[in-house]
Amino acid sequence: MAFDPASVKRELRKSIIAKRDALSGEIRAALSVAITNKIIGLDAYGKAAVVLAYMNFGSEFETENFVKQVLEDGKALLLPKLRKDRSGLDLHLVTDLEDGLESGVWGIREPRGGDSIEDFSLIDFILVPGVAFSVDGARLGYGGGFYDRLLVDKRIDAASIAAAFSLQMVDEIPLEGNDIPVDGIITEKGEYFRNGTIS
């Protein structure tokens, strides 16, 4: 029987999301704070002027504290908005998390609109969502390919960093041609960088 990476990815996605869902809200919040503190301590974050992040949903790493910190640090915050035809993500500048966001597809908070950024080379630091990761930077997303299409155009010196709970780390993720790895993964227990250290 031929190896089917898509099938393996579906099963892995289902397994990891179930484990993540089993975390209590209190534990998830505490782990998210610990991970956020590690991320904002990275030199790559400190040097960044323009940061692309995302608003979490479900049992994901909670990004609220991170995006608030980005604004408090005087950095430009970009958040994605799914296009109406679901063909990709548009990136919008957000300065107000209270009034600048609305519930979008799948209940994910996204920008109401406003200034959009089309020049991806302006972005210095990217916080990347995902379901599972391996130490070599391989990433398993939700299957839409939205972030793979963004990451393929990122500036070579811009850092793509995933925040994940340690239970999301796996030994191996089967990669297909359009899968783009991240530069680093930060968990509450460890830090994993694909090309050396991003301190």
* Domain limits, the chain: 5-193
Q: What angle do CA 89, 90, 91 make, to 5 degrees?
A: 115
pTM above threshold 0.85 = yes
Cβ within 8 Å of residue 157, ≥6 positions away:
none
State the Cα–Cα distance between residues 123 and 154, nearest whole angstrom: 8
Kindly report, residue by residue over 102-133, the tens digit of the pLDDT: 988 778 899 997 778 888 899 999 999 999 99
Phi/psi of residue 169, nearest 5 degrees:
-85, 130
**Other beta carbons less than 10 A from residue 65's beta carbon:** 16
| Cβ atoms of residues 91 and 80 within 8 Å | yes
Q: For residue 8, which of 176, 130, 144, 127 has the smallest C-alpha distance? A: 176
CATH class of 5-193: alpha beta
- Segment 39-43 mean pLDDT: 97
